[in-house]
Structure formats: C-alpha cells, structure tokens
Structure 1
Amino acid sequence: MKILIFALVNLVSSFFIEGKLGLNVDYAVFRHSDQQSYLEIFYSVQKSKLTYEFRNGKYNISLFFRLDVVNLDKDSLIISKGWKIETGFPDTVGAAGQDVVDVLRFYVPAGRYKVVMKGIDLFNTQNYDSVAFDVNVPTFVKGDKLLISSLEFCYSIERSTDTNDAFYKNSFRVVPNPTATFGQNVPVLYYYFELYNIFSGVGGDKFVITVNVLDNYQQKVQEVREKRFVRGKVYDSAVEVGTVNVFNLPTGIYYLDVVVSDIEDKILVGNRRKFFIFNPSVTPRVDTSKVIAQVYSLAEGELDDEFSKASYIATQEEKDLYKKLRGIEAKRRFLGTFWARRGGIEFRAQYLQRVKEADEKFTTKYEPGWKTDRGRVYIVYGPPDEVERYPYAENMKPYEIWHYYSLQGGVIFVFGDRRGFGRFELLHSTLVGEIKDENWMYLLMER
C-alpha cells in the first residue's frame, strides 16, 4: 500500500497545468485561539467530468488528490497530504452540474501561505487539474474590538447533531460551495460566518447585522431585499447563517456584503465577498443592442477570435458557457452582453486597441503579442507608467521592470528572458492576485 500511495503522489505531483477535471478549491478562516486560526480548505470536482466504471451495480469513481501548504513567511512546507476518494452512484442521471464536495481542516498560526492542490481521475489519467492560491491567515485575538471571520458560501446549511459528519460545524451541517457560483442550478446562496469579542466589542445590549447583495460596481442590487437582523449579546462569540435567493439575478459578478453595527447604526465590523451568477434564462439589465450591432458583421471565426482575446477579463463561467454555444447568432448575443456588462462599445474599443498594440510591441516568432505575458499585462492594466530595461549583463539574463503608480498604491511587474529566446515571462509582481516570487533574480542568473 505504501508503494502504491508513493506512486500516486509522484503521478499527481507531475501535473502542474490546468486540466479538465473541473477542480475548484476555496478556503475560510475562523478563530481557534489567540495563537492559531482554524483554516478550512474545501474543494469539489464536477461529476459530469469524471470517468465511471460500472461494477457491483454502481457507477464508480476513483480520484487521487494532493495538498501542499507552504508557510511563505518561513519558507517551509507545513502540510503535505495525499488521499483517495472512491465511491459509487446508482446512476449518472443528473450528473451534469453536480459536484463531489469535501472539506479539510487545519490549525495554523497567523501568516501568509501558498496552497497548491492537485487532483487526477484514476480511471482516466489524462483527466487532471491543479489549483494554486495565496492565503492570508489573520489572528482573532481576544480584545475590545469586534471581529468577523471569513464569509463562507455554501450549497446548503441545516441543523445537525451528527458530529461524525465531515460537514458538521457548530451544530450545523455546512456543505460548502467551492465554486462560489449560483443561479440556474443553485438558486439559493447559503452563507456562514462567525463573530468574536461580542461582549467587549459591542456597546449596549444588542447589535445589528445587515446583509446586502451588491453588483459589480458595488451598488445595491434592487432585486434582492436587504436583510436586517437584531441580535442580543448572549455569548462572546456567535455563529450566523442565512440564505439569499438569487434565482432572478442575471448572469454576472456580485458581492455579498455583511455589516455589523451597534443599535445606533455605528459600524463595528464588516466583510464582503465576491460570487458569480450563471442564469442564462434571465434577461441582462444592460443594453446590449449597440454592441451587438458592432459585432453583427463578424463571421463566426472572428467572434471566436475576439472572445479568445477577451479571455483575460472573462470569468471561468463565461469561458465554459461560450464553449457550449452553437451558431453565430448565439455567439453574437453572448459577446454583445459580455462587452455591455463591462462598459459597452467604448470599453470594447479600448480593449481591442490594446490587443492591437500588444501585437505590435510583443509579437515573437513563437506567439502573437497578445498571448505573451507582457501582452496580457499590457491589455489588462494598460501601458506601464515607467519601464526599466536591463539587457544582457554579466551573469544575468535580460529582464524588464514595469511600474504602475496608480494600481494599489504602486506595483511592479518583473519580466525575464529565462530561456534566452526573447520570450519574456512574468516572474514576479507586487499586485495582489498576480504571481509573486521575491527570489526572481535567481531565475535569471547564468549558470
């Protein structure tokens, strides 16, 4: 058995690129003690993307996963875990849109972490996936300030006494939704969060929790009624669960906004988290006619090319949906809605102009400019405010440092020609959400 597990670890470790398993991974952080926090990592794979073997009257699946968590502050691997999931289903009817969901829990000190999770379908080893992201784990220390945990999005939450259930948490059965996607197949958003230091952090005997849904422009969504709850100070910490009906929201990006205030409406603490709606049957609130008129003259291949170039700003749900579209009319309507949600014809013109400029500036004999790392950054964030260029120097390969002074108070992007073929790769950035490697210079040293 040890030899088998070791072989599986080596197999799953070799996959570093995105596959087709449909792996989604998310996390939430809660209080454990003043020294440690409670890190939950939850993940899912789509049943419709798995390979089944029929035996013993069931449709069986076999998956192997690997999780690595690195403490970035100490540059040390603190969690390395591999495991199998094997189970069977009576049939595959309704598998599309359904997920296999699981949760992992760890106690960790406050700090910065890198989470890398990989999965492979053992019945089809070409079916694999990999997800990596950074996690900032705060401390929830006792004190006179009210604190709030992560907001956790869930498929369902119900009362439970089964402490052996993997999804049991604080007298509830909490089934997380790692995709953070709701709408057509998941019409109700369930949420879970915790509050700490209520006795010392709230003046008076009561406090108020207000829950709203915001659109992508951070404005309240009128289709969802604001929820307001008055709570008494019963315990020093509290668990809050609730639901939001999102079945009537059009496809798009939204935010769940939670604000906790005292009885006099003084804000004490709050949290906000992004989620996605996929509702193709609901008419968008934006005017798509002008953009559709612009794309109406494009052939189907030109529509495909334009959306491919727009993929840098598309959600995964939009990418998946576009792949399913059949016929030029459906693609015209989709692309019209896509651009209208992001600013209409003016935004489309600016974006495509940047694509053209990226092709002119960064095209190599290996790939067009818009597909390069420099091209992507140029298209998404615009021209840099300043560029430092460092051609070949002693023991160093060429690199560039791009400065953006208005992004997050000032950020940099570092591109380097690691292989010496004029192909500059993104090695490091200080912008949240981009690749970060403080040791990027070592990658450029001649050996």
Structure 2
Amino acid sequence: MNLRYALLPVLFVSLVAGLVFGQQASYIPLQVDYALFKADSNRCFMEVYLSFYQKNMRYVASDSGFQARFTTRIEIYDGDSLLLAQDKNFVDQVPSMAQITPGRQFLDMYAYKVRQGDYRVRLIVKDLEGQRQGEFEFTPVVHPYPTDRFSISDLQLCTRIMPARGTGRFSKGRFQVIPNPSGIYGVKLPVIYYYAEVYNLAPPGEKGTYTVEAYVTDMEGNEIRRFPAKTYSKKGKDAAIIGGYNIVTLEGKPYNFHLQVRDDDTGELVQKTRRFLMFKHADQFASVTISDFYQQLRLYYQSQPEEKLDEEFNYARYVATDAEKKVWESLNREGKIDFLIDFWKRRDTNPETPENEYRQEYLTLVYYANEHFTIKNKPGWESDRGRVLLTYGRPDQIDRNVSRSNMKPYEVWHYNRLEEGVVFVFADFTGFGDYQLVHSSYSKEVHHPEWEQYLEDSRFPENPTIQDNGGD
C-alpha cells in the first residue's frame, strides 16, 4: 500500500519522527478465526470472527463518561483483485474507566457466501482516538461441500452457546453461538464450547440415529481425554452439532480438540479438529510478572504454526547476527520457540518491566513498513526504507521533496543519535513510490555524495561506493 502525499507549493516538508510515525504509535493485537459452512451446491458461508482487548483502545472523556471510537474493515481478495470491502464504525461508551477491565473484549463477526477458490482476507482495526492500528491476514481455501456424500463443516470453537432471544449477528437457528477467535481457555473460560454441521445423513434406517464423540490430544498426538459419546435421532439429512465440555483440569499448554460424528445407519464417520490453548494462571487477565510475560509468549508461539515462527524471525533478520541466522536454520519447531524467546529477551530495552518493549516496538515498525512502503508484491519491510527503519528505528526528522519538476522525488531521513548526526537519502526513480537508498552519511551504509546530480539526470550508478570511515 503506497502512502501518497499531496503536492505542496514548497520544496520540503519537515516532520519530527513522532509525527511521521504517529499514525502507528502502537499495534493492536487481533485475534481472528474463520469457519466454512454449507450454503448451497456451489457456495459456502464463510464466517470470520474478530476480537481484541478493549484496553488497547484509547478512551477519552465525553459528556456521559468515556468513549472509544474505532473502525473495522474487512477486505477479500481473489489473487490481486479486491472482491469485497466492508467498513464498520463503532463507538464504545462507558460511564467509568473502571469498566475497561483487562479481560473485556470487542467481538464481531462477518459472514459472506463465497464460491470455490483461494482467497486472501485482510482485517484492519483503527483506533480513531489513539491513532493505533492492528491488522491480520489469512488465506482460506474454499471448496463447496458435496451434495451426495456424508460430510462435516469446519469446527467452530466458542466461549458459550445459549438459547437465542430473537435474531442477532451470532444467531444460528435457535441458539446464540459466541465465537472464541483466540482459541484460549482457562480459569475464567473453563468450558470449551463447539459448533459444527453435518450434511447428507442417510435416510433413517433400522437405527435412525447419529453419534457424536469428542476427545482431546496433545501436540504429539497422545490422547489426553475422551468425553462420553452422545446419540441423537435423525430429524433430516443435515444436523447442527452443539456441545461443551469442562476442561479446566487440563495442564496449561496447546491441545487439539477432535469432533467426530458417525452415521449409525451406514457406519460412515466424519471428523474435524481445532487447536486450542489452555492457559493456567490464577487470574488469566491479571497484571503479569516478567516470568508470566515470557510464559505467555511461549504459549503464544506454541499455538502458532512453524511458518509463523519463521516469519517473525525473518522480520528480525536486520538486527540478528550472522551466527544467530545460522543457528536458526538448524532448529526444529521447539528449538525455534526457545530461540525466539531468548532472542527478544536479550534485546529487551527495559528488562525490569513485565513486557518486552523492544519486541513490541520492532513489530510495530514492521507493521508500519508493510502498511506504507509495500510496492506490488514486495512487502514494505523488505524495501530500503523498511530496512533502515527496522535497523535504526524511527528517524528524528524526514525531509520530503514533493514539488521539484526537474528532479526525481526523494526523502532525506535524519538520525541525530548515529555518529553525531547522519542522513539517509531515498529516491523514487520509477514514480511508483519505490524509494531506493541512494546515499547515506552513516559509515556503515552506501555513500554517494553526488546523489543530487543523478536525481536530476534520472540515472544512478549500478554499484555506488561504500565509504569506510572506520566503522565496524
């Protein structure tokens, strides 16, 4: 996504770093999940579930107490083509800030009919008061459910299921099905509720029933608990599968929840699996200690696929040493979890607080770079501006050339804390917002003091020299 600046009748626009990057002062962590259900012979219902802790929003004084204003946006892409975009505006009003407890969440759901295909779904939340933002992206693959074969929908994990009072966004038939996008359970959420649908049950025969059974395994596939099977009479060819089990005695770690349904007339068996996380803490949402923070970070990593661990380390390659990069390539999944925790812990700028401010700031800048510096298929964190931002942090000042007709657009980033003051010059040779680093006065970067003449000539040497001033 390109950041476009309006042409101004002045040569330069100068902004301090707090204004330059104020639009992404803090990242809002989002919990997102989705499930597919049968719509018709050609389409599926895709339900997308979103939640985030409202303590991450900024509440300001209002006539009746305090309020937060925020927007949510969902975008669905087929390849690079935007198929759908939907925006929602919200105002959360509370009489007292005491009501914004650590565990209070905003929860919403989107539902659409979609045809077979590979999609990319992007969710964005913007805090209009605090200028915070969060983003989550996933890539669902949609296949219509068969019309002539016993099958089961996706398995939706829930915080609770209760009789519906009228209709609402979480209504499914006679029930209100409240999703749990995070998949986290614990002392305050001790019951794992679930919802699924089965399709094309055989016509009632001698038995005329179907049987539902659920069990839990650890991440190594060992069965930890099996719940009693339940048998139901058939009332049609399709059926909703709803239930819940108390899991509070499970140890705090990730698990898989398995749901299987057997058509008792044919013996056919279908099943689905979902990962969930059991978080065992005296108070799941209490203020955490330093050790609690890293325990939670470990549980988070354990709940993620290995590709997400690789993605986070790739983001951090600009600040990783060659030795660390070499070690990473030799690690298995558990080793990568240990490595990431130690990697961020050693870089924590304030180790006495129960958070890792360095990791939070670094990932915030990754998000900013991807949001503002991405060009076509090249993510912003891999661009020259993204690399400099992630390597050296927020600049103290940015000068932007936005109006000289005889010169390519360029930016000058100032870092007063490096070598008593240095600059980085980025130029857009193509006119499409792809700014390349053409010069820096920092001893460790490309050095080309005659950069201005090449911007006027619209050409630049392929191999600019590196100035060596004795830096490491």
Q: Shorter-normalised TM-score: what interval?
A: 0.5 to 0.7
Evaluate the alpha carbon distance shift between residue 167 and residue 257 of structure 1 in structure 2; reply closer, same or farther with a 3 A threshold.
same
**Are 1:27 and 2:34 counterparts?**
yes
Query: 1:379 aligns to what SS in structure 2?
Result: coil
Alpha-carbon distance, 1:227 to partner: 2.7
* Among 27, 40, 59, the residue aligned to 1:52: 59
> 2:322 and 2:204 mapped to 1: Cα distance?
54
Query: 2:185 aligns to what SS in structure 1?
Result: strand
Contact 1:202/1:262, CA 8 A, preserved across alignment: no
Contact 1:146/1:201, CA 8 A, preserved across alignment: no
Question: Which amino acid letter does the alignment assign opposite residue 379 of structure 1?
Answer: L
What do the CA deviations read for 1:250-289 (whole angstroms, capped 9, x no partner)?
Answer: 211011101112438945211111011111249xxxxxxx
> 2:25 and 2:240 mapped to 1: Cα distance?
36
What do the CA deviations read for 1:398-435 (whole angstroms, capped 9, x no partner)?
Answer: xxxxxxxxxxxxxxxxxxx97699x9xxxxxxxxxxxx
Alpha-carbon distance, 1:87 to partner: 2.2
What is the match of residue 289 of structure 1? none
Alpha-carbon distance, 1:242 to partner: 0.8
Alpha-carbon distance, 1:138 to partner: 2.0
> 1:279 and 1:228 mapped to 2: Cα distance?
27
Question: Which amino acid letter does the alignment assign opposite residue 121 of structure 2?
Answer: V
What do the CA deviations read for 1:285-317 (whole angstroms, capped 9, x no partner)?
Answer: xxxxxxxxxxxxxxxxxxxxxxxxxxxxxxxx9
TM superposition score normalised by structure 2: 0.57
What is the match of residue 187 of structure 1? 190
Question: Which amino acid letter does the alignment assign opposite residue 247 of structure 1?
Answer: V
What is the match of residue 70 of structure 1? 77
**Are 1:104 and 2:110 counterparts?**
yes
Evaluate the alpha carbon distance shift between residue 332 and residue 28 of structure 1 in structure 2; reply closer, same or farther with a 3 A threshold.
closer
> 2:183 and 2:239 mapped to 1: Cα distance?
23
After superposition, residues 433-444 of structure 1 pair within 5 angstroms as none
What is the match of residue 390 of structure 1? none
What do the CA deviations read for 1:11-50 (whole angstroms, capped 9, x no partner)?
Answer: xxx9999953232111111011001110111101102222
What is the match of residue 353 of structure 1? none
Evaluate the alpha carbon distance shift between residue 124 and residue 377 of structure 1 in structure 2; reply closer, same or farther with a 3 A threshold.
farther
What is the match of residue 148 of structure 1? 152
Contact 1:250/1:280, CA 8 A, preserved across alignment: no
* Among 314, 317, 325, the residue aligned to 2:289: 325
Contact 1:51/1:61, CA 8 A, preserved across alignment: yes
What is the match of residue 307 of structure 1? none
Identity %: 20
Evaluate the alpha carbon distance shift between residue 19 and residue 106 of structure 1 in structure 2; reply closer, same or farther with a 3 A threshold.
farther
What is the match of residue 296 of structure 1? none
What is the match of residue 331 of structure 2? 379
Higher RCO (CA 8 Å, separation ≥ 6 residues):
2
* Among 119, 126, 143, the residue aligned to 1:120: 126
Alpha-carbon distance, 1:67 to partner: 1.3
> 2:146 and 2:136 mapped to 1: Cα distance?
31
* Among 284, 303, 321, the residue aligned to 1:368: 321
What is the match of residue 278 of structure 2? 277
Query: 1:115 aligns to what SS in structure 2?
Result: strand
Greater displacement, 153-162 / 102-111: 153-162
Query: 1:207 aligns to what SS in structure 2?
Result: strand
**Structure 1 unaligned regions, length at least 5:** 1-13, 283-316, 343-357, 384-416, 424-442
Larger Rg over CA atoms: 2
Question: Which amino acid letter does the alignment assign opposite residue 55 of structure 2?
Answer: S
What is the match of residue 454 of structure 2? none
Contact 1:154/1:177, CA 8 A, preserved across alignment: yes
What is the match of residue 251 of structure 2? 250
What is the match of residue 355 of structure 1? none
After superposition, residues 12-411 of structure 1 pair within 5 angstroms as 20-72=27-79, 75-91=80-96, 92-93=98-99, 95-125=101-131, 127-143=132-148, 145-163=149-167, 165-199=168-202, 204-222=207-225, 225-263=226-264, 266-281=267-282, 324-326=288-290, 330=291, 367-369=320-322, 376=328, 378-380=330-332
Evaluate the alpha carbon distance shift between residue 18 and residue 213 of structure 1 in structure 2; reply closer, same or farther with a 3 A threshold.
farther
What do the CA deviations read for 1:216-252 (whole angstroms, capped 9, x no partner)?
Answer: 2222224xx5131112221111111111212222211
> 2:294 and 2:24 mapped to 1: Cα distance?
32
What is the match of residue 345 of structure 1? none
Which of structure 1's runs of 4+ aligned residues deviate more than 6 A?
Answer: 14-18, 417-421
Alpha-carbon distance, 1:202 to partner: 8.7
Query: 1:239 aligns to what SS in structure 2?
Result: strand
Alpha-carbon distance, 1:206 to partner: 1.6
Contact 2:204/2:234, CA 8 A, preserved across alignment: no
Evaluate the alpha carbon distance shift between residue 169 and residue 20 of structure 1 in structure 2; reply closer, same or farther with a 3 A threshold.
same
Query: 2:28 aligns to what SS in structure 1?
Result: coil
Query: 1:48 aligns to what SS in structure 2?
Result: helix
Evaluate the alpha carbon distance shift between residue 381 and residue 153 of structure 1 in structure 2; reply closer, same or farther with a 3 A threshold.
closer
What is the match of residue 313 of structure 1? none
> 2:104 and 2:214 mapped to 1: Cα distance?
28
Q: How many residues align?
A: 313
